[in-house]
Structure formats: structure tokens, C-alpha cells
Amino acid sequence: MKTDIPIILASQSPRRRELLSRIGIDPIIMPSTITEKINTDDPAEAVKLLSRQKAENVAAKLESCYLVIGADTVVAADGKILGKPKTHEEAAEMICRIEGKTHHVYTGVTLMMSDESVPPVTFADETAVHVYSMTADEIAAYASSDEPMDKAGAYAIQGAFSAYIKGIEGDYANVVGLPVGALYQALKAFISKAEKEV
Amino acid sequence: MKTDIPIILASQSPRRRELLSRIGIDPIIMPSTITEKINTDDPAEAVKLLSRQKAENVAAKLESCYLVIGADTVVAADGKILGKPKTHEEAAEMICRIEGKTHHVYTGVTLMMSDESVPPVTFADETAVHVYSMTADEIAAYASSDEPMDKAGAYAIQGAFSAYIKGIEGDYANVVGLPVGALYQALKAFISKAEKEV
């Protein structure tokens, strides 16, 4: 992805930064300072709203012209949105909800020019994740490790939890934290418009 | 994955080694010395045969008791098996075959005790990969990079090619080179049998 427009990632997730670097983007990191509030039960709507709030929060602090990427990821299982576990007990509860069945991961993304020269773009991508049945020992061992602690849904698909992944339907990167394929396609169109406005 | 049986990976792929490390396996690396010959047009049969040949080749060289993992990955598009490109021109031809449509990736795996105390297990996993349409410039830029050169099908799903991945159906790790989920399940059963024989 080639552009002279400086890109800001409104997230402190090292995984999102790494995913962007794979497609040739080395963003400035500027986490948003919003308090995350979800007023909807629809996970796709929730992540779109939160990605928009994050991008707007960061864009409002900027003096000159940047492209801001906001993103938010949630896991939905049995109609319930799973956030990040605060304790190992919470992690074990979340793993019990997802083992042996299928859940869905949603990442919302907002692309925004800080000078509003181009209308913002917001979209969400959904990936289904099929998880093998796990024994009580496997659940306890995984939940007591460090890996689940800062992850939505209490697992890292790219970590030790890969042992329990039967398969997915959709973009794998979306589960890690950014739908890289859809994001690249959206960025191409967005940057093309933004460069005409410079 | 806990066992006292030493594990050998009959492959020099650093990606396979990394995938095993995620599930707690730090194998001894001992690449096979077979000449790869495929006598079948069925990609699942081909990778099963080759994984078996690789495991047998390495197992035959061992004096004491090891668990040997053999693996082979191919990409099949339009009924044709795509190997590793030898030149950037071949890489461009392969990318032209897969862009804008769906292809399938097959990895065959064989688990074998070098002392034959347990019957070997061989299986294959299949993942469908949906690729976005690419412009001629995008194909040329990707094919002229180093990334495609040692990869079956001329791309790395975990690299810059992630920009062009619309989604997959199946295990992502299978596309990288080892079906980690299915492998973990098979290893649990295989190691349980092997430990009874020790």
C-alpha cells in the first residue's frame, strides 16, 4: 500500500500493528481515550460504532492531515458478546462458552481523514470459528495461562489455542484483530479519493 | 502437548516448526532426503503419500525411539497441482491462476514411531481459500518480490498476500503448512497409545 498520506492507528494492539505491517503500512500509534460503551446487542453494529468513536476521538486531537484507522473486535457466542476477561476465572467461563461449538468474531473498522476532506468509511467483517471439544483439564490449563488475559473471548487464535481450532469461515486476520483483506480493498478506494483532495 | 517421547519434524520448513511451537512442541528438525514424486492427480492422496514417504525416510535412519512427523502441502487450482515456483515468471503464472477465485490447499500428515511400536497414522486436511481480484500491477509487484519463491502456490497467506485474501473455509494453519487443530487431536490419541507401549 503506497501513499504519502501519514496513517495513524487508533489502537494500542501490537497484533493490529503487525497485521498492517504485512501489507506495507507502518502506522503512527495513537490509542483513543474513549470509554467503550455498547448500547446495542448487535455485535456488527457495536464494533462499527466503537471503531467510529475511536477514530473520531483521535482525529479530533490532530492539527494536520492524517488518515486515521479505528478498529474494534468482539466475540459473540450464544447471542452474548464476550469482552476481555479480567480474571482467570472469567477466562475459564468464556472458554466453556465457546468449546465444542461455533462462535462468531466481528471486527469493525473506520477510515477517516482528520481534516474531513473525504467522508468517513465504516464497515464490519464477520468470521465464524469452529472449536473442538476440550477436556476440563485443557480448559483449566489454558484459562490459567497468560494468553487469554487481554483477548476478546479469552483466546488467541494465533497462539496455543490453535490446538483447539477445527476451522474458520471468513478472514483469519479478522479474528486476530483486523480484516486485512477487506481493509486493503477499502484503503485503496479511500486513499485514491483522499489523494485527489490534497 | 506433554510427552516424554522425543519428537522429530521431518521437514525444514521454519513455518511448520513455528506452528508446532505454538502447541508446546519443540521438535528436533531432520529433513527427509526423498525425491518428491507424485503419481496421482488427487491432491489429498498426493500429500498423504508424500508425508508418509518423508516420515518413513527419516524413521529408517533412527536407532532409538522417536515420534516422527512427516508433512507435505500442495495447492490445487482448476484441477492442477501448483508446486513451488522456480522463477518470478512462474510465480506470476501461478498468481494469475488463483486471483479472483477459490482454490484449495491440502496438507498431508503422517505420525510414526521409529520403532513401529504403534501403527502409523496418516491424514490430510483441506482448506478453501477465496482470493480477491488483483490488478496486473498488483500481480507483477507481488510476483517480483521474494515472498512467493519457496511457497507452494507462490504465496504466503501470512505475509503480504494477506491483502488479497477474502476469506477461507477450514484451518488457517493448514494453509501455512500444518493443520494444527487436527494434528493436536491426532497426536493426543497417538501419544496415548505410544506411551502404553514404552
pLDDT (tens digit per residue) in B12-43: 999 999 999 999 999 999 999 998 777 788 99
Question: Touching check for B3 and chain A: CB below 8 Å?
Answer: no
**Beta-carbon count within 10 A of B74 CB:** 22
Give tens-digit pLDDT for B79-114.
Answer: 899 989 999 999 999 999 999 999 999 999 999 999
Nearest Cα residue in chain B from A1: B163
Question: Touching check for B87 and chain A: CB below 8 Å?
Answer: no
Question: Touching check for B159 and chain A: CB below 8 Å?
Answer: yes
Residues of chain A with pLDDT under 70: 198
Q: Which residues of A touch B1 (CB under 8 A)?
A: 163
Nearest Cα residue in chain B from A158: B22
Residue A86, domain member (yes or no): yes
* Torsion region of A116: left, alpha or beta (phi above 0 gives left; psi -120 to 50 gives alpha): left
ipTM comes to: 0.92
Q: Which domain holds residue B99?
A: 7-197
**CB of A155 within 8 A of CB of A98?**
yes
Look at chain B and count its residues: 198
What pLDDT, on the 0 to 100 scale, is given for residue A83?
Answer: 87
Interchain contact, B24 vs A160, CB within 8 Å:
yes
3-state secondary structure A68-96: EEEEEEEEEECCEEECCCCCHHHHHHHHH
Residue B1, domain member (yes or no): no
Question: Touching check for A128 and chain B: CB below 8 Å?
Answer: no
* Residues B17, A64: Cα–Cα separation, whole Å: 46
CA angle B131–B137–B139, rounded 5-degree value: 40
Q: What are phi and psi of B108, to 5 degrees?
A: -100, 145
**Beta-carbon count within 10 A of A3 CB:** 16
For the residues B69-82, what does the mean pLDDT come to? Answer: 94
3-state secondary structure of B152: helix
Interchain contact, A127 vs B166, CB within 8 Å:
no
Residue B172, domain member (yes or no): yes
Interchain contact, A22 vs B173, CB within 8 Å:
no
Interchain contact, A180 vs B165, CB within 8 Å:
yes
Q: Which residues of B touch A169 (CB under 8 A)?
A: 167-169
For the residues B45-72, what does the mean pLDDT come to? Answer: 96
Question: Touching check for B158 and chain A: CB below 8 Å?
Answer: yes
What pLDDT, on the 0 to 100 scale, is given for residue B28?
Answer: 97
* Residues A81, B189: Cα–Cα separation, whole Å: 34
Nearest Cα residue in chain A from B161: A23
What pLDDT, on the 0 to 100 scale, is given for residue A1?
Answer: 80
**CB of A131 within 8 A of CB of A165?**
yes
**Which of B2-11, B35-44, B46-55, B62-71 is predicted with the least confidence, judged by mean pLDDT?**
B35-44
Interchain contact, A181 vs B166, CB within 8 Å:
yes
Active-site residue list of A: 72
Residue A163, domain member (yes or no): yes
Preferred mutation among A162, A171, A180, A187 to probe B, highest tally of B CBs within 10 A: A162
Give tens-digit pLDDT for B115-171.
Answer: 999 999 999 999 999 999 999 999 999 999 999 998 999 999 999 999 999 999 999
Question: Touching check for A102 and chain B: CB below 8 Å?
Answer: no
CATH number at residue A64: 3.90.950.10
Mean pLDDT, chain B, rounded, equals 95
Number of domains forming the structure of chain B: 1
Residue B2, domain member (yes or no): no
Residue B109, domain member (yes or no): yes
Closest CA to A23 of B144, B137, B162, B167: B162
Residue B19, domain member (yes or no): yes
3-state secondary structure of A37: coil
Q: Could you write out the DSSP letters of every residue in B12-76? A: --HHHHHHHHHTT--PEE----PPP----S-HHHHHHHHHHHHHHHHHTT-SS--EEEEEEEEEE
Find all residues with CB under 8 Å of B44, minimum gap 6, and list them. B106, B108, B124, B126
3-state secondary structure A130-177: EECCCCHHHHHHHHCCCHHHHCHHHCCCCCHHHHHEEEEEECHHHHHC
**CB of A26 within 8 A of CB of A184?**
no
What pLDDT, on the 0 to 100 scale, is given for residue A39?
Answer: 79
Preferred mutation among A157, A165, A183 to probe B, highest tally of B CBs within 10 A: A165
Of the residues B72, B78, B115, B125, only one is catalytic, namely B72
Question: Touching check for B184 and chain A: CB below 8 Å?
Answer: yes
